[in-house]
C-alpha cells in the first residue's frame, strides 16, 4: 500500500509499505479515505520530537472505512464509515474512565508522559498513522465513531483532532460570560479555539499571529479581532492596553514549540534544542493574562524543560490548564454543534492533495505557502 514515509527532518515522501495486519483481537484495519496534516506533524517534520524513527508513517487525523475487524470487536462492522480520534486509548484504565482519553495509561509504554497517538513517534507509542491507504486501529471498540449519514466527510475528518482540540482549549479556559479571550496562533487549532470561545460565552475574542492571510481568515470565520504581532512593539503591552491594563481573562496557547517572535526562544528551542521548543507564545500568554486568570495550553511542547516565566505564574495567581485533547469525550457535543450549524469546520480546508504528493503538502503547510490553512491528503484508493 502507499503511505507517507519519514526519512529524517524535512524529508518525507510517499512509499510502498506492507499492508497492516490485525495484531490483537481488538484491532481493526481502516481503509483511509481522507487524512490531514496537522501543526503537530510539523514538530515531527522539523525534528523536534524525540524518538521519531526513520520509516515511520505519520498521520493522527484520518477517517475511513472499516476493512477488517479482530475477533473481539463488537461495536464496528466491516463497511462502517468511521471518525478515528487521534488518541489511541484503551477505554478501561483509570484515566480513560475519567474521560481523559489523551492520557491513557495502557496505550503507550512511555505512559507517564503521554497516551498513545497515531503516527506520533515512539514517544507516543510508536503507532503508524493514517497518512496511508490503510491503518491498524488498536482498541477499535473505544475510539472509532460512526460518521452520521448527514455529515460531510470533510467535516468528519476535522473531528479527529482540530475541532475537539480548539474546543477543549476554550473549555479548559473556564470562560465565563463576557470574558476577554486571547488566542495565540491562527492555525487550524487557534481558529477553532476562537470560534469555540464564543460558544462558551466570551464577550471579546482576540487572535494573535504574524501571518496576514490567516489573520484575515480568522477575523471573518470566527468574527473576532485579529492582530499581527510583528506590527506591535510588544504583544503583552498591546493586550494590557486594550484591556484597561487588567490583562485578558483567558489566554490560549495554540502555537506550541514552533513559535516565532523571540530570537532567544527560537535559537534555544528550535535551533540548538536546549529547551523543548520555543515557548514564545506561552511566555506572552502568561504575561498578558490578568491576575487570577487562566492560561489554557494546547500547543505542543517536548518532554524536557522550557523557559517560561514561572515566577509570574506564582505572583499573579494564574491557573494553568493544559492537555492533549480527549477527542472521544467531546465528539457527541461537537457533532451536535455541527448539525445545528454552530460549527462549520470544513471551511478551513484550503488544500486537497493526492497522497502521492505528500512531500509537497508538508512543504507547503510547513512554509505556510499558497495561503495554506489546512491540507488534506487523499489516498489513491479513495479517488477511484
Ligand atoms: N493538545 C492537543 O491535543 C493538540 C492537538 C492538535 C494540535 N496541537 C498543537 O496545537 C498547535 C497549533 O496547531 P495548528 O495545526 O494550528 O498549527 P499551525 O502550525 O498551522 O499554526 C500555528 C500558528 O501559530 C502562529 N505563530 C507562530 N508563532 C507565534 C506566536 N509567537 N504568537 C502567535 N502565533 C504564532 C503561526 O504563524 C501559525 O499560524 C501545535 O503546537 C500543535 O502541535 C495540540
Ligand atoms: Zn493533529
Ligand atoms: Zn486507557
Q: What is the CATH number of the domain that holds 375?
A: 3.90.180.10
pTM of the predicted structure, to 2 decimals:
0.97
> Does one domain contain both 148 and 260?
no
Q: Which of 322, 343, 370 finishes a domain?
A: 322
75-105 burial: b if 16+ Cβ within 10 Å, else e: ebeeebbbbbbbbbbbbebebbeeebbbbbb
> Does one domain contain both 85 and 184?
no
In the chain, the number of structural domains is 2
CA distance 49 to 276: 9
Specify the residue with its C-alpha closest to ligand 1, atom 20.
187
If you measure from the C-alpha of residue 39 to the centroid of ligand 1, how many angstroms do you get, rounded to a whole number?
6
> Does one domain contain both 224 and 83?
no
Strands 349-354 and 374-378: parallel
> Does one domain contain both 312 and 356?
no
Q: What is the pLDDT of residues 257-289, one digit of tens each?
A: 999 999 999 999 989 989 989 999 999 999 999
Phi, psi of 296 (to 5 degrees): -110, 120
> Does one domain contain both 283 and 184?
yes
Instruction: Look up residue 266 and give its three cell numbers.
Output: 527560537
Torsion angle, CA of 134/139/143/147, rounded to 10 degrees?
50
326-358 burial: b if 16+ Cβ within 10 Å, else e: bbbbbbeebbebbeeeebebbbbbbbebbbebb
> Does one domain contain both 136 and 256?
no
267-302 burial: b if 16+ Cβ within 10 Å, else e: ebbbeebebbbbbbbbbbbbbbbbeebbbbbbbbbb
Instruction: Look up residue 344 and give its three cell numbers.
Output: 462549520
Name the residue range of residue 366's domain: 2-161+326-382
Give me the DSSP letters along 343-374. Answer: --GGGGEEEEEEGGGHHHHHHHHHTT-TT-SE
Output the pLDDT for position 120: 97
Indicate the range of 12-21, 103-112, 118-127 predicted with least confidence: 103-112
If you measure from the C-alpha of residue 2 to the centroid of ligand 2, how many angstroms do you get, rounded to a whole number?
21
CA distance 382 to 384: 6
> Does one domain contain both 318 and 371?
no
> Does one domain contain both 234 and 275?
yes
361: pLDDT strictly greater than 80? yes
- Choose the residue to mutate in 37, 39, 206, 232 for probing ligand 1, maximizing ligand atoms within 8 Å of C-beta: 39
Instruction: Look up residue 37 and give its three cell numbers.
Output: 496534516
Output the pLDDT for position 117: 97
CA distance 191 to 195: 6
How many beta carbons lie within 10 A of that of residue 315, not counting itself?
Answer: 10
Question: Percentage of the chain with pLDDT > 90?
Answer: 95
Q: How confident is the model at residue 383 (pLDDT cuts 50, 70, 90)?
A: confident
Contact 82, 135 (CB under 8 A): no
Contact 229, 207 (CB under 8 A): no
Q: Which residues line ligand 1 (CB under 6 A)?
A: 38-40, 42-43, 161, 165, 184-190, 208-211, 214, 229, 254-256, 259-261, 280-281, 298-300, 324-325
Torsion angle, CA of 100/83/362/349, rounded to 10 degrees?
-110
If you measure from the C-alpha of residue 148 to the centroid of ligand 3, how many angstroms do you get, rounded to a whole number?
25
Which atom of ligand 1 lies nearest, measured to the CA of 210?
A: 37
- Choose the residue to mutate in 254, 264, 362 for probing ligand 1, maximizing ligand atoms within 8 Å of C-beta: 254
Q: Which of 322, 342, 372 finishes a domain?
A: 322
- Choose the residue to mutate in 115, 189, 306 for probing ligand 1, maximizing ligand atoms within 8 Å of C-beta: 189
Output the pLDDT for position 109: 83
If you measure from the C-alpha of residue 359 to the centroid of ligand 2, how many angstroms do you get, rounded to a whole number?
17
> Does one domain contain both 183 and 283?
yes
Q: How confident is the model at residue 364 (pLDDT cuts 50, 70, 90)?
A: very high
110: pLDDT strictly greater than 90? no
Contact 64, 82 (CB under 8 A): yes
Output the pLDDT for position 70: 98
> Does one domain contain both 182 and 294?
yes
Which atom of ligand 1 lies nearest, measured to the CA of 102?
A: 3
Instruction: Look up residue 215 and give its three cell numbers.
Output: 489573520
Supply the CATH number for residue 287's domain: 3.40.50.720
Output the pLDDT for position 46: 92
* Mean pLDDT estimate for the chain: 96
Q: Which of 322, 339, 367 finishes a domain?
A: 322
CA distance 40 to 27: 25
- Choose the residue to mutate in 239, 255, 300 for probing ligand 1, maximizing ligand atoms within 8 Å of C-beta: 255
111: pLDDT strictly greater than 80? no
Sign of CA dihedral 26, 31, 36, 40: positive
Alpha helices in 135-289 (DSSP H): 153-158, 162-172, 188-199, 212-221, 235-242, 263-266, 280-288
113: pLDDT strictly greater than 80? no
Contact 237, 245 (CB under 8 A): no
Ligand 3 being an ion, which residues bring their Cβ within 5 A of it?
Answer: 89-90, 93, 96, 104, 106
48: pLDDT strictly greater than 90? no
> Does one domain contain both 309 and 330?
no
> Does one domain contain both 273 and 373?
no
Output the pLDDT for position 112: 73
Amino acid at each position: 500500500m502507499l503511505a507517507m514515509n519519514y526519512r529524517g527532518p524535512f524529508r518525507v515522501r510517499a512509499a510502498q509499505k506492507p499492508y497492516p495486519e490485525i495484531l490483537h483481537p481488538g484491532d481493526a484495519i481502516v481503509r483511509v479515505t481522507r487524512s490531514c496534516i496537522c501543526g503537530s506533524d510539523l514538530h515531527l517534520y522539523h525534528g523536534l520530537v524525540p524518538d521519531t524513527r526513520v520509516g515511520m508513517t505519520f498521520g493522527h487525523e484520518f477517517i475511513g472505512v472499516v476493512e477488517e475487524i479482530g475477533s473481539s470487536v463488537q461495536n464496528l462492522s466491516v463497511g462502517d464509515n468511521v471518525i478515528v480520534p487521534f488518541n489511541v486509548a484503551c477505554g478501561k484504565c483509570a484515566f480513560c474512565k475519567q474521560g481523559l482519553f489523551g492520557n491513557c495509561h495502557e496505550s503507550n509504554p512511555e505512559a507517564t508522559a503521554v497516551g498513545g497517538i497515531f503516527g506520533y513517534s515512539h514517544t507516543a507509542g510508536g503507532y503508524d498513522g493514517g497518512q496511508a491507504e490503510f491503518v491498524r486501529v488498536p482498541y477499535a471498540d473505544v475510539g472509532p465513531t460512526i460518521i452520521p449519514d448527514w455529515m460531510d466527510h470533510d467535516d468528519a475528518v476535522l473531528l479527529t483532532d482540530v475541532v475537539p482540540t480548539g474546543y477543549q482549549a476554550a473549555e479548559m479556559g473556564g470562560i465565563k460570560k463576557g470574558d476577554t479571550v486571547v488566542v495565540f496562533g491562527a492555525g487550524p487549532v487557534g481558529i477553532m479555539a476562537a470560534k469555540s470561545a464564543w460558544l462558551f460565552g466570551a464577550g471579546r475574542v482576540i487572535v494573535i499571529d504574524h501571518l496576514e492571510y490567516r489573520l484575515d481568515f480568522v477575523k471573518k470565520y470566527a468574527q473576532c479581532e485579529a492582530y499581527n504581532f510583528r506590527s506591535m512593539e510588544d504583544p503583552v503591552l498591546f493586550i494590557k492596553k486594550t484591556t484597561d491594563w487588567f490583562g485578558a481573562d483567558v489566554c490560549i496557547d495554540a502555537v506550541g514549540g514552533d513559535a516565532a517572535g523571540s530570537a532567544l526562544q527560537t535559537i534555544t528551542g528550535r535551533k540548538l534544542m536546549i529547551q523543548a521548543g520555543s515557548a514564545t507564545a506561552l511566555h506572552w500568554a502568561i504575561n498578558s493574562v490578568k491576575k487570577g486568570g487562566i492560561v489554557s495550553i494546547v500547543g505542543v511542547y517536548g518532554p524536557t524543560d522550557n523557559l517560561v516565566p514561572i515566577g509570574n505564574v506564582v505572583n499573579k495567581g494564574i491557573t494553568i490548564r493544559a492537555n492533549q485533547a480527549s477527542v472521544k469525550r467531546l465528539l457527541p457535543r461537537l457533532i451536535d454543534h455541527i448539525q445545528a450549524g454552530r460549527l462549520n469546520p470544513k471551511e478551513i480546508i484550503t488544500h486537497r492533495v493526492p497522497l502521492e504528493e505528500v512531500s509537497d503538502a508538508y512543504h507547503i503547510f510547513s512554509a505556510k505557502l499558497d495561503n495554506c490553512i489546512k491540507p488534506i491528503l487523499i489516498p489513491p484508493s479513495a479517488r477511484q
